[in-house]
Structure 1
Amino acid sequence: MRTFWRALPTEGRWLLSTVAIQTLGRGLTLPFTIIYLHEVRGFDLGLSGVLMSLIAVTGLIVTGPGGTLIDRFGARVVLLTGLVAMIVGCTMLAFATDPAVAAVALVLIGVNFGVSWPGFNALIASVVEGDLRQQYFGVNFALINLGIGVGGIVGGFYVDVHEPETFTTIFLIDAASSLIPMALLLGPLRHVRTHVESTEADPPAEGYRQILRRPAVLWVTLLTFIAMFIGYGQMEAGFPAYARQVAEVDTRVIGFAFAVNTAVIVLLQFTVLKLIRGHRRTRVMQVMALVWAISWLVLGAAGLLPDTVVAVIGVLAFMGIFAFGETMLQPTVPAVYNDLASDRSRGRYNAINAAAFQGGAITGPIAAGLLLDQGLGGWFIAVMVAGCAGIAVLALALERRITPSVNGVPVAAGEAAD
């Protein structure tokens, strides 16, 4: 870690040093928003679910235009706009007693989600490059999980559905936490540029259609979508539903499982970064796919012995093994996108990455709900394992279409891409 920190430019240190604090506010509210809407504000559960979906749907809608604006005006301007939307949205939600007000608030939060992923990734890529960039994405992911995990634990002890003001407080803290990256963008990072001014002699910047015609982009985007579909798309829906309905474990076990997930990521991310350094990113993705397949099989085994100690161990083990796989995903996929991109198209490349992420996060819960509602727990596990096999195949196809440098290995040590 000391070697990594010394290698970072000053701007990279500023970005990284505040990540956990920034995400602490999000961790306070993320697990409790639907509880707030349903149990505190009195909206029925179906309406609360629809309102929650507005965040992801809005994020997906604005990601594309956001990527174009990042390339045209720079990530800094777009991120500041998103942060203002986040502050206003969280503040409105803190006092929302009407569904329409809550809907507007959640749309504003979704706007920030839609531009923050491509914006911050473009900012990171403009500050660090090469192997250091891959390490940065991994460390950044660990710190995000640390902030969200600690926030979730603190929020769980603090909020009380019988005291609405406790929920008002956490949403206001979430709004205030957005002031930290805003201060960085207006202060130490105000000179960082993520776009290049074009001249008449320059060729036109790549558009989305041109980018998506690149085979490498198509393969990595499909891989990202499937990874999100069987991964993060199940964390808030498929996994808890399976654990409760099929494995029949207590809700406290599910809560503790998320704590295990966070702990494994924070404790192992640095070790994993050291182990994967210099290895082909596509091979790391294949190992990740194997690890995830094992995790889903473990969860499936927990469902065979419901309401037992074995089921509890299986649910906790699933989250630990799955988290180990996550430590391989986050350093590799964003690094591939940014190594494929040029400075004039970096916003669009990261927007495509974000759209694939959000698409998987939206469709994953739908598929899980359909399967588990019909009592098809075995088929649910089978679909997840099949998805892991798909990731391994896609990673192999991607390896043949990217250069060794994009794949994370020195050119002299790599093989020429097809």
Structure 2
Amino acid sequence: MTLIDALGLPQTRGRVPLVLAQLVDALGTGLFLPFAVVYFHAAKGVPLATVGVMLSVAALLSLPAGPLAGPLIDRFGPRRVVVASNLVRVLTFSGYVFTDVPWQLVVLVTVTLWGESQFRPAAAALVAQVADGGQRARWYAMDRALRNVGFGAGGLLGSALVGWGGSPGYTAVVVFNAVSFLVAAALVAAWSRAAAPVASGPGPGSAPAGDGPGTGRAGYREVLADRAFRGVLVTVAVFGLCDLALTVLLSAYVIEARGLPAWQPGTLFALNTLLVVLGQTAVARAVEHRRRPRVLQAAALLWTVSFGLFAVVPGEHGALAFAVLALGMVVFTAAELLQAPTSSALTVAMAGERLRGRYLGLEELMWGVARVLAPALFTWLLAKGPGLPWLALGLCCLAAVGVLCRLDRVLPAHVRRETVGG
């Protein structure tokens, strides 16, 4: 067994530019993401309340982007859509530097989110094309690990720039982010499929070697007629809410609802990032011979356990509270490590190449719905009672387990037989 195989990494020979593009993209995003709200407030002078409304409106307006990406991916191929979405974000982040008018910023943020929402399904479809047979989940796992490395490194670099340069430091963060998208676009555009070895025996649902458009003509009506995939979309929405609980809910719960020290959420986020970086590819390798619905059921049950732990955190005992939160975060991360590479692999396996963009576009739509719902839903439940958001999430996860049990019976035979690595 080679070291690459032992670590759960995919074969990347001939695909190094794509790996570098993933890392550069994540580094740039990590530069800006922690400072998005503060940037518009501190560097542009927009009131915080207005910033919140601005970002919510932009997120709502960008919901159609995922479904609209589907036909583009199927017609022009995922590589072209990845390059185009990166170039769109080069333009919008460059535009941030030159305006401080709120309505113009709303337009720029909306177009940025459109680029992001088209990038994600296109990147997933590109992975499906370039992965050797049986290694898709490993590629999705490596992408997630690289993104966490990039987010962490970018966040540290961004903090240094802001701390050193003040308002000009914020501008530098935005400029560097624009440059990172440009470099990522250039790397993907320059990569040639001919440089990669031929994949070994594509299985059912696998893509042919080319980067061109899918054959045939079909629309979303055919995708939505897939009853099994409608069930998958339900689980995607639930898992989207679970994932967003970390960034949207946890800090407010720990600091405001439980009155715990402000250092605890940051430490928990760091623990999550470290576990993802160290464990994502190894976990993907460990479960790659398991059937996908079963792996997703395990993820949902682990999330239910983690939410139960978060709900019973004792606010009056700081050390004990942190121990329970840390244990909950370990279980939460274990669920993430199982779900993240498996969900996309399941969607790709169900789609085949002809409709792959549309399937992934609808998956992105469900993530967009979760991103719109999560802030309002979580804060409303938190105001009603500290444990209510976690209870609601746990019940959603148990419902997802039921949906996945049914899916395991109604999936097409070739998809049901495939394992995570398929």
| TM norm. shorter chain > 0.5 | yes
Q: Report the CA distance shift for 1:10/1:314 in structure 2 as closer, same or farther (over 3 A).
A: same
What is residue 335 of structure 2 aligned with on the other side? Answer: 325
Q: CA offsets per residue over residues 30-82 of structure 1, 9 Å max, x none?
A: 11111122234332222111222245334322111111111112223322221
CA contact (8 A) 1:278 1:408 kept: no
The structural deviation recorded for 1:111 is 1.7
Preserved contact between residue 58 and residue 107 of structure 2 (Cα < 8 Å): no
Shift of the 136–292 alpha-carbon distance from structure 1 to 2, 3 Å rule, reads: same
- What displacement does 1:129 show? 5.1
Structure 1 consecutive aligned stretches of length 4 or more whose deviation exceeds 6 Å: none
**Residues 1:82 and 1:274: Cα distance change in structure 2 (over 3 Å):** closer
Match of 1:394 in 2: 403
1:342 to 349, 352, 355: 352
Q: Give the Cα–Cα distance (whole angstroms) in 2 for the partners of residues 408 and 252 of structure 1.
A: 46
**1:347–1:266 Cα change, 3 Å:** same
Structure 1 residue aligned with 2:115, among 107, 112, 115? 112
Number of corresponding residues? 403
Partner of 1:217: 229
Please tell me whether the aligned partners of residues 94 and 167 of structure 1 are also in contact (alpha carbons under 8 angstroms): no
Query: Residues 358-394 of structure 1, C-alpha deviation per residue, up to 9 Å, x if partnerless?
Result: 21122122210111233x1122221011112122112
Describe the shift of the 1:289–1:278 C-alpha distance in structure 2 as closer, same or farther (beyond 3 A): same
What's the counterpart of residue 71 of structure 1?
A: 74
Q: Is the 8 A contact 1:89 1:104 kept in 2?
A: no
Secondary structure class of the residue paired with 2:410? coil
Alpha-carbon deviation of 1:135?
1.5
Amino acid paired to 2:374? G
Alpha-carbon distance change, 125 to 55 in structure 1, aligned in 2, over 3 angstroms = farther
CA distance in 2, matches of 1:141, 1:405: 27
| Equivalent position to 2:220, from 193, 197, 208 | 208
Equivalences for 1:12-411 in 2 at 5 Å? 13-128=16-131, 130-160=133-163, 163-189=166-192, 193-196=210-213, 198=215, 204-229=216-241, 231-302=242-313, 304-306=314-316, 308-374=318-384, 376-403=385-412, 405-407=414-416, 409=418
Note the C-alpha offset of 1:284. 0.8
Aligned residue for 1:2? 4
Q: CA deviation at 1:401?
A: 1.8
CA contact (8 A) 2:17 2:188 kept: no
TM-score, L = length of structure 1: 0.89
Deviations 1:118-168 (A, max 9, x none): 111111111125421121111211111121122223323442498111111
CA distance in 2, matches of 1:345, 1:106: 29
CA deviations on 1:298-337 (whole Å, 9 max, x unpaired) are 21122x3246222233333333321221111111110111
SS at match of 1:236: helix
Matched letter for residue 99 of structure 1: P
Percent identical residues:
25
**Root-mean-square deviation over aligned CA pairs:** 2.4
Identify if the C-alpha distance between structure 1 residues 129 and 190 changes in structure 2 by more than 3 Å, giving closer, same or farther.
closer
Counterparts of 2:417 and 2:272 in 1: how far apart (Å)? 26
Residue 129 and residue 347 in structure 1: after superposition, are their counterparts in 2 closer, same or farther (change >3 A)?
A: farther
Deviations for 1:182-241, whole angstroms, at most 9, x for unmatched residues? 11232114777444464xxxxx43311211111111011110001112x22323322221
2:254 alignment partner, SS class: helix
Greater Cα offset, 16-25 or 51-60: 51-60
Identify if the C-alpha distance between structure 1 residues 267 and 17 changes in structure 2 by more than 3 Å, giving closer, same or farther.
same
Worse overlay, 81-90 or 96-105: 96-105
8 Å CA contact 2:22–2:146 kept in 1: the answer is: yes
Q: Is the 8 A contact 1:282 1:396 kept in 2?
A: yes
Distance 1:332 1:5, change over 3 A: closer
CA-to-aligned-CA distance 1:256-288 (integer Å, 9 cap, x gap) = 211111101111112212220211111111111
Structure 2 residues not aligned, in runs of 5+: 195-208
Q: CA–CA distance in 1 between the matches of 2:178 and 2:71? A: 26
Give the Cα–Cα distance (whole angstroms) in 1 for the partners of residues 254 and 238 of structure 2: 22
Output the TM-score relative to the length of structure 2: 0.88
Contact 1:71 1:346 in 2 (8 A): yes
Which one-letter code corresponds to 1:236 in the other structure? T
User: What is the CA deviation profile of residues 70-117 of structure 1, one whole-angstrom value per residue up to 9, with x for unaligned ones?
Assistant: 111222332222112101111222343221232122122112111101
